[in-house]
């Protein structure tokens, strides 16, 4: 019996299968188009970290790698279409470009506030580090 996939995994599988249906899914190393549905499913499950052929650690790393690529705009879709594709992908997955859910501040907003307060080293801080520095 198959395990249920998380929302992130389902979204990743849906994105990859959509690319296959549009004829845009390519094999990683050589750039050939994927023609087999079975191969597309295997690629989708691998990217989503849902493959039954890998250990749980490997699957978690695969999903994190895919999410990082989507956020950075390094997917094949984003490379072909530019920033609009990246924004569209992030919106589909519950994040808008640069904003946090539930009215949280973006890193840029936190950075601006840190700049006003004169916090040292702010340019090298992550969003979490900026939040922490602004609390104190």
Task: Collect all residues with Cβ–Cβ distance below 8 Å to 105 and sequence separation of at least 6.
Answer: 113
Which pLDDT belongs to residue 98?
46
Distance spanning both ends of the chain, measured CA to CA: 50
Phi/psi at 33 (5° precision): -70, 145
Is the whole model's pTM more than 0.85, yes or no?
Answer: no
**Residue 48, phi then psi, degrees to nearest 5:** -80, -10
Instruction: Indicate the range of 36-40, 55-59, 120-124 predicted with least confidence.
Output: 55-59
Tens digit of each residue's pLDDT (9 = 90 or more) over 82-112: 666 666 666 665 554 444 443 478 888 889 9
**76 in helix, strand or coil?**
helix
Cβ of 113: how many Cβ atoms within 10 Å? 15
Phi, psi (deg, nearest 5) at residue 22: -85, -5
pLDDT for 121 equals 92
- Is the separation of the CB atoms in 117 and 110 below 8 Å? no
Cα–Cα separations (whole angstroms), residue 44 to 7, 12, 69, 75, 101:
14, 7, 14, 13, 27
| Residue 97 near residue 120, CB atoms below 8 Å | no
Q: Which residue has the higher pLDDT, 116 or 80?
A: 116
Residue 43 has pLDDT above 70, yes or no: yes
Determine the average pLDDT of the residues in 58-63.
78
């Amino acid at each position: 019996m198959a395990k249920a996939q998380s929302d992130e995994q389902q979204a990743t599988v849906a994105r990859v299968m959509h690319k296959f249906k549009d004829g845009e899914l390519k094999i990683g190393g050589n750039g050939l188009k994927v023609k087999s549905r079975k191969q597309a499913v295997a690629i989708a499950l691998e990217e989503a970290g849902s493959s039954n052929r890998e250990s749980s650690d490997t699957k978690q790393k695969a999903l994190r790698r895919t999410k990082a690529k989507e956020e950075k705009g390094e997917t094949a879709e984003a490379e072909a279409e530019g920033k609009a594709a990246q924004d569209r992908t992030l919106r589909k997955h519950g994040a808008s470009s640069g904003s946090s859910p539930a009215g949280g501040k973006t890193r840029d907003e936190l950075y601006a506030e840190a700049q006003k307060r004169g916090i040292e080293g702010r340019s090298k801080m992550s969003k979490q580090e900026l939040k922490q520095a602004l609390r104190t």
